[in-house]
Amino acid sequence: MGCASAPLDRSATAPREEHHQEAPKVCTLIGCVTGMTLMTIVPESPELLRVSRIRVCRNSTCLTHSLAELPPGKDTRLAWPAPPTGPFSPSAEFQMRSLPDGRTGLLVYYDSGSDTAWREDDVFTVTLTSADGRRLLDLKRPARYDKVEPNGPGCGTCYRAIYRESEDWLTMPR
């Protein structure tokens, strides 16, 4: 005599194994490099600055360049070394704009070349020297780094020391 039975339903007695697969994290490609940004205004003309030299240092690592290579114009920029000397080598950028009142707005960037090349005791120095040896700008500041995640948490972190030594000349009329 046979006994017919239905298949055993274990759903009520055994826990179900659920497999949650997280969606891959999507990060934008906004660039971010550990380093320093300086915004300032100097009372000199762009013509005087074009015959000057700039020296940008993080501790004892310095980049020096002649501003004679600046392209012509009232709003111009120069980056060096060009090309950078290696994947983890520092680089700098200088931007200037002639302001309506005769002064010149400056932006100076120092990029360390590595997002791990920073320490809380770093010191940044920016020196601008005229052709006759006068110091047009002589700034030395301890680093106060801010953590920056332009692509959101988990999508790359860098650290920037930002110095605003003047009003925001980028928003001034040209």
Q: Give the tens place of pLDDT for each residue, 158-172.
A: 899 989 988 777 776
- Kindly state whether residue 87 falls inside one of the protein's structural domains: yes
Is 3 a member of any domain?
A: no
Burial of 80 (0-12, 13-18, 19+ CB in 10 A): middle
> In terms of pLDDT, which residue wins out, 9 or 131?
131
- Can you tell me the mean pLDDT for 22-36? 78
The total domain count for the chain is 1
User: Is the entire prediction scored with pTM above 0.85?
Assistant: no
Cβ proximity of 92 and 110 under 8 Å: yes
Q: Is residue 70 part of a domain?
A: yes
Write out the residue range of the structural domain in which residue 149 sits.
35-167
Nearest of 58, 88, 52 to residue 70 by alpha carbon:
52
Position 17 confidence tier, pLDDT thresholds 50, 70, 90: low
Asked, for residue 25, whether it belongs to a domain, the answer is: no
d(CA 50, CA 2): 103
Query: Is residue 10 in a domain?
Result: no
106 in a structural domain: yes
Would residue 89 count as lying in a domain? yes
Is 27 contained in some domain?
Answer: no
Q: What is the pLDDT of residues 40-75, one digit of tens each?
A: 999 999 899 999 999 999 999 899 999 998 888 888
